[in-house]
A and B are shown apart, each in its own frame.
Chain A
Amino acid sequence: MSTSAVMRLELRRLFVRPLGWVLAALTLAELGWRFVLLLGNFLAMQVRLAALPSGPGFTDMVGVPLLSSLLTGGFIPFGLTELALFVVPLLAMPTLAGERSHGTLPLLFGTGQSARAIVLGKYAALMVWLVLWLVLALLMPLSLAHATHLDWGKLAAASLGMLLLLAALAAIGVACSAFASHPAIAASAAILLVLALCSIQLGAQAAGVNNSVIDWLALPTHLEPLLRGLVSTGDILWFLLLTIVALALAIRRVATEKERD
């Protein structure tokens, strides 16, 4: 009950702030541009692809690349994954650091809310926004479902991967916001952390280190199979573990707020 009250308050704040609308408008416009480019490329190659016995289809060339450029390369224009690395920390930055700078965090405690209800309520509100964002992005390839052959299984696996990615990024964003004194610091910390998770593997390889632990830590190791349509428990657990650890740290930090000087 308390979590839902905090969630509704946070949702309201999220939807009346211009930041959410500006980010949604810019990113969806950018994704629309990417969709048109990917679709044009697919149409140009369609005849040649049709001649291949198991050549890539609409899902491989438009649906999944719209969500991420991890498999296809060619980062610009960004896919949803690349945009999420910046959008989620920006959206998450005011969740707790903003409350702290406005002096409203003690007010929430004063209404009898626990640290868990505050953190989970804010996280849930953020997830509502992010799920809507994902659905709107997915509507682009889905709008052509009647005119083309969609690989539903592959698209569902990729969508699951994106959902897990957004859940983990949101949890990291909320955790950084819980530890930061100012929203801008929270956003910077979250972006750095997320970029480190994405590039740790490449960094290690560049340094000549080939380590399975570093591979396991890297975010692309677990996102890539899902984008290819391979759903494995290990990858799902990695995302869930990251999400749970980040949220637990955020709850712990907010709970100690009452003990601070």
Chain B
Amino acid sequence: MIAPTAASSPVLQLDRLSRRRAGRPAVSDLSLELSHGQVLGLLGVNGAGKSTTLAMVAGALRPDSGSIRLEGEDFLEHPERARGSLGWLPERAPLWPELTVTEHLVAHARLRGLRGTAARQAHQRIVERMELQPLLRRLAAALSQGQRQRLGLACALLHQPALLVLDEPANALDPVQSAGLRTLIREQAAAGTAVILSTHLLTEVTAVCDRVAILHEGTLRHDAAVDQHDHAALERRFFQIAMAGEVRAA
């Protein structure tokens, strides 16, 4: 649940986070802070370290070094304390194929520690918000990619987390669904939720994010506010960083 903390206290603090994967540094010395209501776009080419960073923030991967603090709590020491504070939609929205949409929501409510009336209210609220009513009895295996994404988002938002971590959520969404996703992210931010949005799409970042961080070869190369009227500047900066890496590799 979103805690009534002071606006100045960051929801998420990453301090010198590093992680090696397949024998090479996937993320190196990454430090970031994110406040309530802020939407951070995480940009980078394939293999830049975006998904590794998000998996560490979500608690699915342990960093080799560095620290993660979520609402002031050391997330690595006490991952269980974060279960009410964090919502995560991994890439491709993994689901249990033999369970229905309702069963997913019920399971996620329990896993997040929601019980009784709180769980029922959360269920009702998210079903309405994500327009899942017609899908409730459908098996996850029978959902389209867009519907899977909606269910994954519903599971991530069910407990009204303070931090929402979205790994390429616009993949496989049609333009209408993408617009709906942007509205949802802005709604969450307005309600005080901090959002990290990993994407390949620069247009997503300029449309919905307050801040953009560009990762390249596992390191943070750019971290600044987004100028929503200057998409070209962001594009130039992104290609400058991405191409510099390629020139060096050549």
A and B from one complex: yes
On whether the beta carbons of B60 and A261 are closer than 8 Å, the reply is no
Interface bits A113-134 vs B (CB < 8 Å: 1, else 0): 1100000000000000000000
Partner of A102 from the list B83, B96, B110, B113 (CB cut-off 8 Å) is B96
On whether the beta carbons of B98 and A13 are closer than 8 Å, the reply is yes
On whether the beta carbons of A110 and B103 are closer than 8 Å, the reply is no
On whether the beta carbons of A258 and B60 are closer than 8 Å, the reply is yes
What distance in Å separates the Cβ of A21 from its nearest Cβ neighbour in chain B?
12
Q: Which residue of B is nearest A2, CB measured?
A: B80
Of the 9-residue stretches A3-11, A141-149, A186-194, which lies at the interface with chain B? A3-11
Interface bits B33-60 vs A (CB < 8 Å: 1, else 0): 0000000000000000000000100111
On whether the beta carbons of A13 and B60 are closer than 8 Å, the reply is no
On whether the beta carbons of B94 and A259 are closer than 8 Å, the reply is no
Of the 9-residue stretches B85-93, B122-130, B175-183, B196-204, which lies at the interface with chain A? B85-93
Interface bits B61-99 vs A (CB < 8 Å: 1, else 0): 110000000000000000111111010101010111111
What distance in Å separates the Cβ of A97 from its nearest Cβ neighbour in chain B?
14
DSSP majority for the B interface?
loop
The size of the chain A interface, using a CB distance under 8 A, is: 26
- Interface check A109, CB cutoff 8 A: yes
- Interface check A55, CB cutoff 8 A: no
On whether the beta carbons of B111 and A16 are closer than 8 Å, the reply is no
Residues on B with beta carbons closer than 8 Å to the beta carbon of A110: 58-60, 86, 88, 90
On whether the beta carbons of B108 and A111 are closer than 8 Å, the reply is yes
What distance in Å separates the Cβ of A135 from its nearest Cβ neighbour in chain B?
25
The size of the chain B interface, using a CB distance under 8 A, is: 33
- Interface check A108, CB cutoff 8 A: yes
Which of A102, A106, A107, A110 counts the most chain B CB atoms within 10 A? A110
How many angstroms from the CA of A16 to the CA of B112 in the assembled complex? 22
How many angstroms from the CA of A261 to the CA of B113 in the assembled complex? 30
How many angstroms from the CA of A127 to the CA of B141 in the assembled complex? 27
- Interface check B236, CB cutoff 8 A: no
Q: Assuming A106-B90, A110-B58, what are 5 further A-B pairs, CB within 8 angstroms?
A: A1-B113, A8-B110, A9-B107, A13-B96, A112-B84
Ordered by A's residue number, 23 sampled pairs between the chains whose C-beta atoms are within 8 Å are: A5-B107, A5-B111, A9-B96, A12-B99, A16-B98, A16-B103, A102-B94, A102-B96, A102-B97, A103-B92, A107-B88, A107-B90, A108-B111, A109-B58, A109-B59, A110-B58, A110-B90, A111-B83, A112-B59, A112-B80, A258-B59, A258-B60, A258-B62
